[in-house]
Amino acid sequence: MTGNAVTGLTEKTARAHIDERTWTRGASYTRGLTRLTRQPDGDDQHLRGTAHGTDHYEVLVTLRAGNVRDAVCSCPVGGDGRCKHVAALLRRALIRPGDFVALPSLDDLLDPLDAPALRGVIRRMLDHAPDLMGVLLSAPGGGTGLAERLALAFATVDYDPDHDWDDEGADLSDIGAMTDELLEACSDSPIPEALNAVRAFVDGLDAIHDEVDTGADLAHAARTALLLLLGRDPSDTHRADTLNLLIRCLHLHTWHPGEIDGTGQRELYLNLPPERRAELLGVLDGASENLTTYRRAPITRVMLDLDREGLMPAAHALHLARRDGHIHHLIERLIPDDPQAALQELSTRRLPLRDVHAAFTAAGHADALLRHAETNPKLPGARLYLFEQYRASGRQGDARRVALDALTGKGRATLVTDQHDANFILYRVGPDGPEQVDPVHSWVDRYREVSLDWATDLQELVTAWRGDPNRLATLINLLLDAGQNAQAAQVMGRCDPLKILAGPLAVRYALALPGAEATPLILKLVTHAVAQGNRDGYRAAATMLRQASAVIGAEEARSAAALLRAEHPRRRSLHAELGNAGF
């Protein structure tokens, strides 16, 4: 299949849009496509067709300069335009481009129509597809005002969760298309008209909120629109209405700091006169007063995040941060004027030190934070913070000491293990139970990074961890990495490797032993793998025997394979895997 002059499409550009498997699956649908058309649209060309399978699916591919710019299919998985039906349409365009009926451009079709004729066309389209009414309502400059069109758009949202088998949610795209018009109205239209539009928008969100997941974007748009209105210095009555609508928006979808920074809301807030900013903060504070902590905390976070310049009295801001658990805000507000109080809060709240390093540094108190970590190494993340700071400042010896302390338990609380993690995890047993500190393997990597003599430093770990079953697997792995096979066997002692080491590490350990010691362990591992009773287990057993040939001898490995065949004469998959391994 090569390119063609009709569409400009080439096999290379077509296949770049679809993965190999889907491209192949599309072949069986290529011949059955019907209603094939192509239509120019400016720099684009639209290819359309109907695919037939368990149902009829409408397929649309948009080309530009011979490349696939966009695609969509009405099948359940065609939303991203990379399904087998899209592949089929692209294949057909390559194989038989002449099958696509050439249509005039949309502009050429619409330009000759006067208003009555255009109305007639729209009525016929609505008869065929009633859902297009939402598109008509969302069109800017419609026959009714924006507030009325928004109310109608929300009233015609049709969603039945019992029939939403793919969990796609309600289609709110037509409403989403009206948000730009709403924001423009709040910037330029008369304030009463704009306020009515926002009220219709918020009323609509409120009406469907319990039944439909409206997502975050619509609530973002409503809050941005209201901040735009506040910035236009509305009358007292209109300002009160605007603030009340903003409070209602708080309960539709959580107002996150990410929204404030990512949608231009911070700039809108900062452009308000100081007295209006203070008024907004006061309204938010009052709105949260009688709520539960769960519902109040996000509102408090918005207030603290907006009020970075400190319009709220400092004592009240600190009270809010303490009350609702916004520890970062609390500590950041304390640092400039009272770093010792910030450090005390840091100890009490058990916040990782690295999380507040930037704030202490910006205020010129980085040294105080470092001394605090040195004095209180058992605080969450204190050792990691010290390690990072020592290393960044060239204090390699101090960094090595911190890493060794973290690994060997010097000055550290009790160790417990998490049996779900083969690496085992370092924990601190606090008043509320075990608290994860950091994975052991991460601290081993750090220790190695600052080691000047790894062979010597590894022996310190051997001395500290010998006899500790919770550290034995990690220690064996480190010794094997260092080529210390004999010491690994010595450290293992009389412990059963199958109970201590995970599968791959047990195999690695067994292959590192001398032949006489390796043979019984390897045969146990092979037997254990076969006992899984599946193809993966058989493949692992055969692979182990092949790898073990160099250690236990080829004859011993062949003998073990023959024994497996004899013990399991009906396991064809086992026999096949042994054959693949050369036995």
282-304 pLDDT tens trace:
998 988 887 888 888 888 888 88
DSSP 3-state of 7:
coil
Give the integer Cα–Cα distance in Å for 79 and 70.
Answer: 11
Rounded average pLDDT over 480-496: 89
Whole-structure pTM value: 0.57
The vertex-256 CA angle with 164 and 185, nearest 5°, equals 80
Angle, helices 179-188/191-208, rounded to nearest 10 degrees: 150
Which pLDDT belongs to residue 380?
79
With DSSP H G I counted as helix, E B as strand and the rest as coil, what are the percentages for the chain, rounded to 5?
Answer: 60, 10, 30
Angle, helices 535-552/515-530, rounded to nearest 10 degrees: 170
Rounded average pLDDT over 76-100: 92
Q: pLDDT, tens digit, for every residue of 371-395?
A: 999 998 888 788 889 999 999 999 9
Q: pLDDT, tens digit, for every residue of 155-166?
A: 888 777 777 666
Q: In Å, what is the CA distance from 87 to each residue of 3, 8, 16, 232, 268? A: 15, 16, 11, 52, 47
Q: What residue type is 95 in one-letter code?
A: I
Which pLDDT belongs to residue 296?
86
Write phi, then psi, for 297 (nearest 5 degrees). -60, -45
Asked whether 255 and 246 are in contact (CB, 8 A), the reply is: no
pLDDT higher than threshold 60 for residue 421: no
Q: How confident is the model at residue 412 (pLDDT cuts 50, 70, 90)?
A: very low
pLDDT higher than threshold 50 for residue 413: no
Q: pLDDT, tens digit, for every residue of 431-472?
A: 444 444 446 778 888 999 999 999 999 999 999 888 788 888
Give the integer Cα–Cα distance in Å for 372 and 361.
Answer: 14
Most confident residue range from 38-52, 100-114, 346-360, 377-391: 38-52
**Among candidate residues 501, 513, 446, the one with its CA nearest the CA of residue 475:** 501
Q: How confident is the model at residue 501 (pLDDT cuts 50, 70, 90)?
A: confident
Lowest mean pLDDT among 190-199, 445-454, 497-506: 497-506
Concatenated DSSP letters of 140-163:
TT-SS-HHHHHHHHHHT----GGG
Q: In Å, what is the CA distance from 438 to each residue of 48, 192, 383, 444, 545? A: 56, 57, 10, 11, 37
Cα–chain center distance at 111: 47
